[in-house]
Chain A
Amino acid sequence: MKAVRLTTPLTQEALRQLKAGDTVLISGTIYTGRDAAHKRLVEALDRGEDLPFNVKDAVIYFVGPCPAKPGQVIGSAGPTSSYRMDTYSPRLIEQGLTGMIGKGLRGPAVVDAMKKHGCVYFVAIGGAGALMARSIKQAKVIAYDDLGTEAVRELVVEDFPVIVCIDAEGNNLYEQGRAQYQRA
């Protein structure tokens, strides 16, 4: 399987080329955020405040990394379960978010928002946090420092390995892959 190389920001034009099942290597800047950070981002939007990063054409990675050992950029950093962000994701997609990296199922409201506004859901390999940390070249906390592992970080990644799970047309590899291998 040949991987598609992708550089952020992820524009609408670029994301329309991606299809469920594509393996992708992402390079450039991505942002981290999980449960508590998402709650704060949406609360900021509710108050009419600016977000701590430009969400337009941005890719967000649902991760709470381990602390970095001396000499490391970041500790182990695999994806966390995405469904916990389902309450918040449509709001960020409306604001121009074009990519999400996580693992596991997404709800219908998220998929509807992805199709309506143009956004792709990538999955990374759950549990492979040591391997994925190798593709992270820089990491910096840019907001919500008090949340510790849940703080928003700006990551610079190089050839970060992911798979397109749900594309902007709503094609879903979880459904297609399972149907192909299911036996009665």
Chain B
Amino acid sequence: MRTITFEQIASAVEGLCIKANTQIGADVKEALEKAHAAEASPLGKTIIGHIMENNAIAETEIVPICQDTGMAVVFVTIGQEVFVEGGLTDAINEGVRRGYEKGYLRKSVVKDPLIRVNTGDNTPAVIHYDIVPGDKLHIMVAPKGFGSENMSQLKMFKPADGVEAIKKFVIEAVEKAGPNPCPPIVVGVGIGGTMEKASFLAKKALLRHIGHHSEKEHIAALEKELLEKINNLGIGPQGLGGNTTALTVNVETYPTHIAGLPCAVNINCHVARHTEIEL
């Protein structure tokens, strides 16, 4: 057994919340640079230039890239030989509380979805746990803005509908979202499992390094085809026209039932925040 304290976890999460909200990932930076060079629309090119300038200001001045500093989505992989001194969930929420306060991040969480009073500290986080062998604790914080989150979709297809129905569904979701999720976007697709598993996979797909395709050949081919078709829609940077609508399409899959073909689409904006630590 290896002991990790409440304070170690809270402190790590605090740092991750601030870092994720103020520093753009190297993969996103690189993808934006490529898009800037390739964008055909002069206005679209100018917009990508402004986005890059914004990211540089945020990193230098340690201020949020976007004012929607999101709901904190936390992915935890915990080795079964780890003993956490103090509650793990409490420690993560304490880290979120401190990070959002100390980082001057916007508190965007309401206590009840219908009564809608702000909790004032951006808690609770949405936390996903995965238990694995070993004695390590891996934490990833992915603050999720709702401009893009609100554009998500889920559909339970019949097995007979097949991959063509999935392609149509993903492209229509992006088309319907149009300018709302702040293109250029990252598209996460989850196929298989159950209803909630497909949604989880779509979220997880957003965290994959831009430029890394699926190891499964048929899925990698699907990702490339979807990206090309999405960029042919013409939506462009901020939806004002152009050939950069998405930076990447990432598809995650899981075994499913003989009767089903669940598919979820989760969209991220160009900020595509996530950062991680191993304790």
Chain A interface residues (CB < 8 Å from chain B): 1, 21, 23, 36, 63-69, 72, 75-78, 80-81, 83, 103-105, 123, 125-134, 148-149, 161, 163, 165, 173-174, 176-184
Contact = CB atoms under 8 A, between A and B. Distances in A.
Interface of B: 40-44, 46-47, 50-51, 53-55, 57-58, 61, 63-69, 104-108, 116, 118, 120, 147, 150, 178-180, 182, 232-236, 238-243, 269-271
A76 B59 CA distance: 12
Contact of B54 (A127, A176, A182, A184): A127
24 contacts: A63-B67, A64-B108, A67-B105, A69-B104, A72-B63, A76-B67, A78-B66, A104-B147, A123-B179, A126-B66, A126-B147, A127-B54, A130-B54, A131-B54, A148-B107, A148-B120, A149-B106, A163-B43, A176-B241, A178-B235, A179-B234, A180-B241, A183-B234, A183-B243
A33 to B, nearest CB: 14
A76 B65 contact: yes
Interface of chain B, main secondary structure: loop
Given A68-B104, A178-B241, A179-B234, A103 B182 contact: yes
A181 B243 contact: yes
A63 B52 CA distance: 21
A83 B63 CA distance: 27
B236 A177 contact: yes
A178 B68 CA distance: 26
A61 to B, nearest CB: 11
Contact of B104 (A75, A77, A78): A75
Contacts of B67: 63-66, 75-78, 80, 129
Nearest to B46: A1
Given A130-B63, A131-B57, A104 B179 contact: yes
Contacts of B179: 103-105, 123, 126, 174
Nearest to A175: B241
Most buried by A among B47, B178, B179, B236: B179
Contact of A181 (B55, B105, B242): B242
Contacts of B235: 178
A163 B182 CA distance: 15
A180 B232 CA distance: 11
A35 to B, nearest CB: 9
B269 A178 contact: no
Contacts of B40: 181
A129 B64 contact: yes
Contacts of B240: 123, 163, 165, 173-174, 177
Most buried by B among A104, A127, A132, A148: A127
A169 B51 CA distance: 30
Nearest to A161: B50
Contacts of B180: 81, 83, 103-105
Contact of B232 (A21, A69, A125, A184): A184
Nearest to A148: B118
B65 A180 contact: no
A130 B104 contact: no
A134 B238 CA distance: 20
Contacts of B44: 181
A159 B271 CA distance: 24
B61 A64 contact: no
Contacts of B64: 66, 75-76, 129-130
B271 A127 contact: yes
B106 A177 contact: no
4 nearest A-B pairs in the assembled complex, by CB-CB distance: A177-B241, A182-B234, A126-B182, A181-B234
